[in-house]
Amino acid sequence: MSYEIVISRVKKIESDLVKIGAKGRGLHEKLSSIESKLEEKLIKKIRFAASVRNKLIHDDDVELTADLLINFQSVCDEIDKDLASSLSLASTSKSNSKDIGLVEEFINASPLKKVGIVGVGVAIFSYLISR
* Number of domains the chain contains: 2
pLDDT digits (tens, 9 = 90+) for 51-102: 999 999 898 888 888 999 999 999 999 999 999 887 776 555 555 444 456 6
Same domain flag for 20 and 66: yes
CATH number where 40 lies = 1.20.120
Same domain flag for 89 and 118: no
What band does 114 get if pLDDT is binned at 50, 70 and 90?
Answer: low
Domain hosting residue 126, numbered range: 99-131
Same domain flag for 32 and 54: yes
Tell me the C-alpha distance between 92 and 44, whole Å.
25
